């Protein structure tokens, strides 16, 4: 963000040192830099692909006869498979990211900045984006700076690895082989996803899956205005003391199924019902009919976008809302919140605004807000998104302990390693027929 000239260093922020691009302040060098964010949707502004790539050039006031050849060249450079009039809302996540990269390349930057550009993508989409970057770097000779947690797949793209220390400073700087061989143990301990080091297995489970807590029968959903379903008809049983992983490519309906299981969407077809073990006397009730308080007591939800569930001005207050609304006294609520803050390495941010946290910190806070009310079912959408190795291990240990205490864990994920470590069963979804792929 700082290299792209996007940080306000003249306000209340504290800064130290000097940052220069070709000898200039980053704001003066903006015409020589291009940045690609984690979420491609945050960068797409136009309804048609060609117009989106042209947007930056138009803002530079280039004449039309100069714009469109550059748009075509940029789309070809990233292997965009559609004509310029392709609707941007019909693109998969990987195609959206390729389009964003094309929009940046059309500006002809000398420095390409990428902030976890494949974090939101399924493995196939992520591989496509890495192939695009490899081709672009070879052909155009750009300088690239890539921010990345999951470094194993990114290593072939880079010549140099710089490991930053929390709070400032550099832990290591050198070639990938030198850095990971010389510092591998220390980096893994600090939370870096060192290539070749897998997640540890959670403790052996202490009880077998038992009572049905949620039952989804032939559920499907179509969003308003859509011509194709977001989720094909699906059956799923979620039991106590069980962890279920939901996997599949972008566009297969993982997030939609998670929202249905959480009672936050009304199925277009079929039903998600409670088991008697989840709500005695209300077994087979469609859970979308429940009140918000009933849902919150029984089913904890972690959204794909953490900011969608933040309501207050501080991290601690965010964790106190649920327990206080449920009638817990403030002392007990604070004790429960403090324990979660400690376990998820957020104690030092207790007074910070949730909206100022990093992506990984926001994800851990959203998990904590779901856990603080001790629900019987926990539904999570991409729980390891943006996490370093240390906090992913902490989440794995925490969720495994909840599962073994009798809770049901259901999580949608692209992280196959995490799914293999935690899940007792895996439900793999396919893209519904007729949907964009």
pLDDT attached to residue 139? 84
CA distance 380 to 370: 9
Structural contact between residues 4 and 30, judged by C-beta atoms closer than 8 angstroms: yes
Structural contact between residues 403 and 378, judged by C-beta atoms closer than 8 angstroms: no
Token pair belonging to 169: 């400073």
Sign of the C-alpha dihedral, residues 126, 101, 2, 21?
positive
pLDDT attached to residue 367? 87
β-pairing, 161-164 with 170-174? antiparallel
CATH class of the domain at 26-158: alpha beta
Residue 437: is its pLDDT beyond 50? no
pLDDT attached to residue 251? 81
Q: From the CB of residue 214, how many other CB atoms can be counted at a distance below 10 Å?
A: 27
pLDDT attached to residue 9? 67
CA distance 112 to 114: 7
Highest mean pLDDT among 94-98, 125-129, 286-290, 322-326: 286-290
CA distance 138 to 142: 8
- If phi > 0 it is left, if psi is from -120 to 50 it is alpha, else beta; for residue 225 that is left
- Predicted confidence (pLDDT) per residue in 274-317, tens digit: 999 998 988 788 999 998 888 888 999 998 778 888 999 999 99
The H or E element that residue 397 is part of is helix 389-404
For 5, 112, 138, 154, 156, the CA distances from 131, given in Å and listed in that order, are: 27, 15, 11, 10, 10
Q: Which of 59-63, 65-69, 200-204, 336-340 has the lowest mean pLDDT?
A: 200-204
Higher model confidence: residue 325 or residue 365?
365
pLDDT attached to residue 260? 96
Token pair belonging to 122: 């399924």
Query: Mean per-residue pLDDT for 259-283?
Result: 92
| 3-class secondary structure, 156 | helix
Domain ranges of the chain: 26-158, 212-428
- Predicted confidence (pLDDT) per residue in 163-188, tens digit: 998 778 898 999 999 999 888 888 88
CA distance 393 to 371: 17
β-pairing, 242-247 with 170-174? unpaired
| 3-class secondary structure, 155 | helix
Q: Which of 7-21, 148-162, 259-273, 300-314 has the lowest mean pLDDT?
A: 7-21
Longest dimension (CA), the chain: 71
CA distance 116 to 42: 14
**% of the chain with per-residue pLDDT over 90:** 49
Helices (H), 78-219: 93-105, 123-140, 176-190
β-pairing, 111-115 with 143-147? parallel
pLDDT attached to residue 191? 83
pLDDT attached to residue 201? 81
Structural contact between residues 229 and 269, judged by C-beta atoms closer than 8 angstroms: no
pLDDT attached to residue 161? 94
Give the model's confidence band at 189: pLDDT under 50 very low, under 70 low, under 90 confident, else very high: confident
Query: Mean per-residue pLDDT for 154-158?
Result: 91
Residue 436: is its pLDDT beyond 70? no
Q: From the CB of residue 227, how many other CB atoms can be counted at a distance below 10 Å?
A: 7
CA angle at 318 for the pair 315 and 324, rounded to the nearest 5°: 135
For the chain, the average pLDDT equals 89
- Predicted confidence (pLDDT) per residue in 94-116, tens digit: 788 889 999 999 999 999 999 98
Give the model's confidence band at 359: pLDDT under 50 very low, under 70 low, under 90 confident, else very high: confident
- Range 212-428 has CATH code 3.40.50.720: no
pLDDT attached to residue 431? 84
| 3-class secondary structure, 23 | coil
Residue 229: is its pLDDT beyond 70? yes
pLDDT attached to residue 312? 93
Give the model's confidence band at 434: pLDDT under 50 very low, under 70 low, under 90 confident, else very high: low
Give the model's confidence band at 433: pLDDT under 50 very low, under 70 low, under 90 confident, else very high: low
Residue 421: is its pLDDT beyond 80? yes
Structural contact between residues 258 and 380, judged by C-beta atoms closer than 8 angstroms: yes
Residue 325: is its pLDDT beyond 70? yes
Domains 26-158 and 212-428 alike in fold:
yes
Residue 63: is its pLDDT beyond 50? yes
pLDDT attached to residue 267? 95
- Predicted confidence (pLDDT) per residue in 362-406, tens digit: 888 988 998 888 899 999 998 888 788 888 888 898 899 899 999
């Amino acid at each position: 963000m700082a290299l792209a000239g996007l940080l306000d260093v003249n306000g209340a922020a504290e800064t130290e040192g000097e940052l220069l691009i070709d000898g200039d302040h980053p704001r003066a060098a903006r015409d020589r830099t291009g940045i690609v964010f984690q979420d491609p949707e945050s960068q797409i502004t136009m309804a048609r692909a060609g117009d989106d790539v042209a947007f930056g050039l138009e803002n530079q006031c280039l004449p039309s006869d100069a714009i469109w050849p550059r748009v075509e060249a940029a789309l070809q450079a990233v292997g965009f498979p559609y004509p310029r009039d392709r609707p941007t809302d019909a693109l998969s996540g990987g195609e959206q990211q390729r389009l964003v990269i094309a929009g940046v390349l059309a500006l002809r930057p000398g420095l390409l900045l990428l902030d976890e550009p494949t974090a939101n993508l399924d493995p196939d989409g992520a591989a496509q984006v890495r192939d695009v970057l490899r081709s672009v770097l070879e052909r155009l000779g750009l300088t690239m700076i890539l921010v990345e947690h999951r470094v194993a797949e990114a290593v072939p793209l880079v010549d140099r690895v710089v490991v930053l220390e929390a709070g400032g400073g550099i832990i290591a700087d050198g070639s990938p082989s030198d850095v990971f061989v010389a510092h591998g143990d220390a980096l893994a301990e600090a939370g870096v996803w060192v290539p070749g080091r897998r997640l540890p297995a959670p403790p052996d489970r202490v009880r077998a899956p038992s009572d049905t807590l949620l039952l989804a029968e032939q559920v499907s959903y179509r969003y308003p205005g859509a011509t194709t379903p977001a989720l094909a008809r699906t059956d799923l049983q979620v039991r106590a003391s069980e962890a279920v992983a939901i996997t599949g490519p972008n566009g297969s309906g993982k997030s939609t199924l998670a929202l249905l299981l959480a009672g936050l969407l009304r199925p277009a077809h079929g039903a998600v019902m409670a088991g008697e073990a989840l709500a005695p006397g209300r077994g087979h009730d469609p859970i979308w009919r429940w009140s918000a308080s009933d849902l919150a007591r029984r089913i904890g939800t972690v959204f794909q976008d953490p900011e969608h569930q933040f309501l207050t001005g501080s991290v601690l207050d965010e964790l106190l809302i649920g327990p206080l609304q449920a009638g817990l006294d403030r002392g007990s609520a604070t004790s429960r919140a403090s324990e979660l803050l400690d376990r998820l390495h957020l104690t030092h941010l207790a007074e910070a605004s949730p909206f100022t946290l990093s992506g990984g910190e926001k994800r851990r806070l959203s998990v904590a807000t779901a856990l603080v009310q001790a629900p019987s079912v926990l539904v999570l959408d991409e729980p390891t998104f943006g996490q370093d190795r240390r906090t992913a291990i902490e989440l794995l240990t925490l969720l495994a302990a909840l599962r073994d205490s009798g809770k049901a864990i259901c999580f949608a994920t692209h992280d196959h390693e995490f799914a293999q470590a935690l899940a007792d069963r895996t439900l793999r979804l396919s893209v519904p027929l007729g949907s964009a792929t």
